[in-house]
Amino acid sequence: MGMTLTPIGPVTNPLPSRMPRREPYLRIEWIDEITAAKGYLVVDKLVRGMATGGTRMRAGCTASEVADLARGMTNKTVAFDLPVGGAKGGIDFDPKDPRAKGVLTRFCDAMRPYLDNHWVTAEDLGVSQQSIDEVFAGLGMRQSFHAAIERSATPAATAERVAAGLNASAPGGLLGDVIGGYGVAQAALAAARVRDWTLGETEIAVQGVGTMGGAAAYYLHEAGAKVVALADATGTLYDPSGLEVPALLESRNRFGEIDRGIVGPGVQVLEREAVLGLSCDVLIPAAVSYALTLDNCEDVRASIVVEAANAATTPDAELSLAARGVAVLPDFIANAGAVAWAWWLLLGDVGEDYRDSFGRLAAVMRSKVTSLLTEWNPAEGPVRWAAEVDTRVDAGESLVIP
């Protein structure tokens, strides 16, 4: 396998920002000797010797994309007062390819010095938590939170506590799988309250029904909102009277695709990208980065966009939407529930009772979104600018895990 520490070039699609730009702490490019797949690790910032961020796999994943995502992770950790910096892993490979697990295993093996000591990773687009945990176990590491767990005075006990939390039952699935989507749902619900919308009449469209988008749609439906559209890789399902979300999600295959055989006669089956332009109050892009671009953002008819996917909106699209008065809740707020919860779990602030985790995350998300949207002035730029945090200050002492 090959690995270089040479620069991988400037970020070509930086998120709009008014903060001073800075270079990431570390950028690595890796090439798989067997498949020629390329992988990237970007550590945007180390805080107390640690950085956190998932590992994604998709055909076409780029170095600049991973750098954008790593910077977003730093924003999340600061916005949610987590004692770590931000990082991200990415592999340019089709996750449906039967060789994908081998590629992921070799990538993680190559990144072992960072996974042992500095980088806590987890699931992301194209990589499930179960699959990455299996890879870690096969490499002799306890779990994908390995670097943090090994800092504990009692690693075995900490690993057991983390596993109990990740695998705890919650409405809608395992707590570790659904907590991120629950946070997105809470962000959307908070936005609806700020706008004083009647919940049962609030129409929501969700692009992507994987771990994040599926859970967000489930909890919004359970809260009483009207989920009018769900889009997966094969198309968009649309019903202005509201979809039967739980049944549709239950029919998904292992690639997150809904079984069209159970779709009712009143549901319209549209093109995949149609979800972005449907009439609704809230649009939740939860599939891929850069889903909303300058070329398609004029199609958006929602008044609020909640970024469940990382970097779901390109900078020029975000500026264009703000000029139209469309609020884009940025990813480092809206979808930060998963990373915030993971570190609450690692630090012992929450455990395996989902009610504690849901209660804490709902309260934090409600407070942040309400404050942002109440004070936001579209004439001053995107919501992202109002939400930005200063990521330049490091905490010096080493992180201690109880």
Q: How far apart, in whole angstroms, are the C-alpha atoms of residue 198 and residue 193?
A: 8
Q: Which two tokens stand for residue 20?
A: 């001073």
CB 88 within 8 A of CB 57: no
> What tens digit of pLDDT does each residue of 9-30 get?
333 344 445 555 679 999 999 9
Alpha-carbon 312 to chain mean position: 10
List the helix and strand counts (H, then E) for the chain.
Answer: 14, 16
* pLDDT score at 264: 87
Over 80: is that where the pLDDT of 3 sits? no
Which residues have a Cβ under 8 Å from the Cβ of 14 and sit 6 or more positions away? Answer: 21, 68, 315
Domains in the chain: how many in total? 2
* pLDDT score at 21: 64
What is the average per-residue pLDDT within 251-255? 90
**Within a domain: 297:** yes
Q: Which two tokens stand for residue 35?
A: 């498949």
Residues 197 and 242 in one domain: yes
Residues 186 and 134 in one domain: no
* pLDDT score at 221: 98
Residues 281 and 323 in one domain: yes
Residues 252 and 366 in one domain: yes
Residues 209 and 319 in one domain: yes
Q: How far apart, in whole angstroms, are the C-alpha atoms of residue 155 and residue 71?
A: 29
* pLDDT score at 12: 37
* pLDDT score at 397: 56
> What tens digit of pLDDT does each residue of 177-193 get?
999 999 999 999 999 99
Q: Which two tokens stand for residue 127?
A: 């990589």
* pLDDT score at 256: 87
Closest-CA residue to 46 (of 20, 83, 6): 83
Q: Which two tokens stand for residue 212?
A: 């994040």
- Give Dmax (Cα) for the chain: 60
Q: Which two tokens stand for residue 168?
A: 């705890």
List the domain range (segments joined by +) for residue 222. 173-387
| pLDDT interval class at 8 (50, 70, 90) | very low
% of the chain residues with pLDDT over 70? 92
Query: Which residues on neighbouring strands pair with residue 304, listed in sequence order?
Result: 282, 327
Query: How long a stretch of residues is the chain?
Result: 402
**Within a domain: 397:** no
Q: Which amino acid is at 163?
A: A
What CATH code is carried by the domain that includes residue 39?
A: 3.40.50.10860
| pLDDT interval class at 255 (50, 70, 90) | confident
Residues 48 and 184 in one domain: no
Over 90: is that where the pLDDT of 307 sits? yes
> What tens digit of pLDDT does each residue of 52-105 get?
999 999 999 999 999 999 999 999 999 999 999 999 999 999 999 999 999 999
Over 70: is that where the pLDDT of 172 sits? yes
Q: Is 311 left (phi over 0), alpha (psi -120 to 50) or beta?
A: left
